Structure 1
Amino acid sequence: MSDPTTIEPELRTEAPPIALRDADDNLSASFLDALVEAIEARDAARARELTEDLHEADLGDILEQLTSEQRPELIQLLGDAFDFTALTELDENTRVEILEDLPPETVAEGVRDLDSDDAVYILEDLDQAERDEILAQLPSVERVALTRSLDYPEESAGRRMQTEFIAVASFWTVGQTIDYMREAEDLPEAFHELFVVDPSFRLLGRVALDRLLRTRRNRKIADLVDENPHVVQATDELDDVARMFQRYNLISAAVVDEAGRLVGLMTIDDIVDVLEEAADKDIKRLGGVGDEEVSDRVWYIAKSRFPWLLINLGTALLASSVIGLFQDELQRMVALAVLMPIVASQGGNAGTQTMTVAVRALATRALGPHNALRVIGRELVVGLLNGLLFAAIVGGFAVFRFGVPDLGFVIAAAMMINLVAAALGGILIPLTLHKLKADPAIASGAFVTTVTDLVGFFSFLGFAALWFGFA
């Protein structure tokens, strides 16, 4: 019989795990609150418990949501459990801010565990002095490899290549190669092919991993070599490398220097990042915001946007001066003022559509001298067809709304002319800027809008003045 005064020990249960994301795939508020609480309490065990086994992309999202003070604190709490690959998921400003707040030895230790391409990506945005201080903490072999990559131009394959790869001699057997891969400790974590080099490390070809594993052990590697692999020069621009990967559906490609020596490897995950960055830049430039990031400071954002807003102001003043030429006509017929924005707005939208397609086609090299005339002709026909359709629609609306048949003919004619002008401006302006070595993504928008506004206002008000005989 148990003693009634005895108190049974309370059963302890572990707290249920907190979901990382909510139903909308956003980071859950409860998870972020729990992590911030652990950071403020300097609870390293709790911070590690919350972030263990997270993918670097999720860890990057978490860092984006934390404040500038909380980010380095979290990294210090996690210690060697923090995956520095997560920094590659951040925008440049946030990444640099974190690196500047961390001790150089901490950054150096984290960089040592990364693939060379990720390490270069993290270090390249730092000031030279800060970069040198971190590199000085690394062993000489790793320091030399990273320095060599950092010495290549910023938008080159050499800057983004991975220096971890497998290179073997042509006289090796399949068995020797397989034994080497089993025993070596410094191999890449994942690979799809081996490279064959001569004694001076010049590239002779490649051997696909699946073919190697299907071949008997006594066969020579020389018998398996693909002597015409797709090769990237270390100085090639990343955009050109990305187009090669797209064209030939590549997973990886060897990178060689000017002497043909194997120096690195480009992989499809690097190319996906290149394509994403290029698309991101094009979208931002079409909006006239350059390389702006959400983490940029107020003054930098205002300064970067000001020039294009100033250009737009100039084009708007030019358009208003055209309207001013017909101020008497506008005073005598209020309907002109009501309908005038319709013509300019439709022209602007049509011009933006054509311009967007043209800028993207120029960026992907789908539009060039060989097919420019054909594309211009196509856009001209599209402008005519849409001009006729919308001329009928807006002309009918004008007659119905104001009961003046002549006004319908005037706006219909102006609409057709402006949509044709928009189609031509949308294709010719990007082509001209590209020919002049200017970036069409940045400059096209303001010029196309100017064309459609000027043509729209002048054609509509000019036709009205002639048709109604305003004195």
Structure 2
Amino acid sequence: MTDVDTASSARPPAPNVRLESEELNPAFVAAIAAAVSRSDGDGLAQLIQDLHEADVGALIEALEPDDRPRFILLLGSRFDFTALTEVDDAVREAVLAELPQDAIVEGVAELPIDDAVYILEDLDSDEKDEILDRLPSPERVALQRSLDFPEESAGRRMQTDFVAVPPFWGVDQTQRYLRETADLPEAFSELFVVDPRYRLVGSVPLDKLLRASRNTRIGELASEDRHRVRATDDQEDVARLLQRYNMLSVPVVDDGDRLVGVMTVDDVVDVIQDEADEDLKALGGVRGEEELSDSVWYITRSRFSWLFVNLVTAFVAASVLDVFKGQLQQMVALAVLAPIVASQGGNAATQTMTVAVRALATRELTRSNALRVVWREVRVGMLNGFGFAVLTGAIASLWFDSIGLGLVIGCAMVINMLAGALGGILIPLVLDRYRADPAVSSGVFVTTVTDVVGFFAFLGIATLWFGLS
């Protein structure tokens, strides 16, 4: 049966052919696109039946841009808007711009607060306000409260669905409440104990609740939450807290210590991934928000600025060569070997810089251990410098039949590898000290240092050694 036949049959393929090694089967995507072109909503519902929202998100990205909003509208109430939290920001914004406001309101109303915030926060303020005004009062108030917190804060990421009970309840009453209450969260691992003003007293894990005597008061079981976080705390700091102490969740309180939400480990997995992705892109001079789905013009504009800075620093390094142009004309070998010294120092600096930037981002590199780490990198730079000095010196001596040239490049290699190690660790530390993002800014400065020092060291030592002028 051909792909066309499969699409026209409108029968869902077997579950094992929808995904191949966690990727969507191209034939399955083609069947979805064919159903969209036929406006076959029932066929679409059959095709994506029981498909996880993450895979539905991948499916939306795989469709042509014009088919994405049609896909959602054809499914109607059968479409889970959670899938829109799994797509690139650019795709989500484009899809929401094409959807009728009624569809957005209906879809957002069914979402947990943290997912609804994730979808709404990137909309224009006017459109966001219009959607909020059309939501039922409880959902509107909860959403507005979360949206009022700063971007990338715990208040934006937290879930507002949690279980809270007073400390004077007994275990028996609490268990009955959990059994008989219909609107509890779908999944939770602990309940929180609050006083009459909703200030957080502590928490009780479910396993502890199940093992306790029926007449025991909940307040006696509650353990004080030493790791509560503020709603205004940075989401990355909260993610690091959960990671460090192997916690499944952490309560979120406001400035009055009133419980307002909870952040769970599945929330911070996304945070950790987003922050790591942002740092990795920044090391390459790419904006953290750049996505594969962005337009050519947007990507061009976003990358141009740092490419321009790189061009300026390249001219700075080239000016060093201009200073020694007379020596380069007298001895062509210098022009051949100079880039090797600069390049090797730059590579060593990039290695050090990558480790330093990541350690700063995860708070592993701090003022308390900075000197020890700097001294370690200096020793690594010196050892690598001496090792490559021997290698490059031997190769240069044999290549140009000059022992002196081998000694010159060997000395320059040690100097530049040491400069690369120092630059790779000190520049990120200085930038972080003055609250500049080291992931974004370090690369340009580190490369400039190793180019300038490498050229100066090699050509300067050669000028002295060979008596060039």
Deviations 1:185-230 (A, max 9, x none): 1110100001111111111111111111112322221221112442
**Alpha-carbon contact 2:385-2:415 (below 8 Å) kept:** yes
Deviations 1:211-264 (A, max 9, x none): 111123222212211124421111111121112112211101111111111111
Q: What TM-score, normalized by structure 1, do the two folds share?
A: 0.95
Aligned equivalent of 1:424, options 408, 422, 425: 422
Aligned CA RMSD, in angstroms, stands at 1.5
Counterparts of 2:238 and 2:13 in 1: how far apart (Å)? Answer: 48
SS of structure 2 residue aligned to 1:207? strand
Q: Determine the structure 1 residue equivalent to 2:6.
A: none
1:205-284 map, 5 Å? 205-284=202-281
Aligned equivalent of 1:367, options 359, 365, 368: 365
SS of structure 2 residue aligned to 1:263? strand
Once structures 1 and 2 are overlaid, which stretch shifts more, 94-103 or 444-453?
94-103
Deviations 1:359-408 (A, max 9, x none): 11111111121111111111111010000000000001111211111110
Aligned equivalent of 2:89, options 86, 89, 92: 92
1:378-417 map, 5 Å? 378-417=376-415
**Alpha-carbon contact 2:10-2:31 (below 8 Å) kept:** no
Counterparts of 1:28 and 1:340 in 2: how far apart (Å)? Answer: 51
1:112-127 map, 5 Å? 112-127=109-124
Deviation at 1:328, TM superposition (A): 2.0
The alignment covers a number of residue pairs equal to: 459
Q: Determine the structure 2 residue equivalent to 1:9.
A: none
1:36-435 map, 5 Å? 36-291=33-288, 292-435=290-433
Q: Which amino acid aligns with 1:188?
A: P
Gaps of 5+ in 1: 1-11
Counterparts of 1:452 and 1:217 in 2: how far apart (Å)? Answer: 70
Aligned equivalent of 1:28, options 25, 40, 53: 25
Deviations 1:291-335 (A, max 9, x none): 211222222222211111111111111111111111222222222
* Counterparts in 2 of 1:52 and 1:205: CA distance versus 1, 3 Å: same
Counterparts of 1:79 and 1:323 in 2: how far apart (Å)? Answer: 66
Q: Determine the structure 2 residue equivalent to 1:7.
A: none
Counterparts of 2:68 and 2:75 in 1: how far apart (Å)? Answer: 11
Q: Which has the larger radius of gyration?
A: 1
Deviation at 1:17, TM superposition (A): 2.8
The answer to whether structure 1 residue 456 and structure 2 residue 454 are counterparts is yes
Counterparts of 2:392 and 2:321 in 1: how far apart (Å)? Answer: 20
Once structures 1 and 2 are overlaid, which stretch shifts more, 333-342 or 250-259?
333-342
Deviation at 1:47, TM superposition (A): 1.0
Q: Which runs of 4+ in 1 moved over 6 A?
A: 12-15
Counterparts of 2:11 and 2:393 in 1: how far apart (Å)? Answer: 73
Counterparts of 2:176 and 2:22 in 1: how far apart (Å)? Answer: 45
**Alpha-carbon contact 2:230-2:253 (below 8 Å) kept:** yes
**Alpha-carbon contact 2:341-2:409 (below 8 Å) kept:** yes
Deviation at 1:284, TM superposition (A): 0.7
**Alpha-carbon contact 2:356-2:365 (below 8 Å) kept:** yes
* Counterparts in 2 of 1:20 and 1:14: CA distance versus 1, 3 Å: closer
Identity %: 58
Once structures 1 and 2 are overlaid, which stretch shifts more, 263-272 or 235-244?
235-244
Gaps of 5+ in 2: 1-8
**Alpha-carbon contact 1:206-1:229 (below 8 Å) kept:** no
Once structures 1 and 2 are overlaid, which stretch shifts more, 219-228 or 138-147?
219-228
SS of structure 1 residue aligned to 2:252? strand
Q: What TM-score, normalized by structure 2, do the two folds share?
A: 0.95
* Counterparts in 2 of 1:16 and 1:454: CA distance versus 1, 3 Å: closer
SS of structure 2 residue aligned to 1:290? coil
SS of structure 1 residue aligned to 2:23? coil
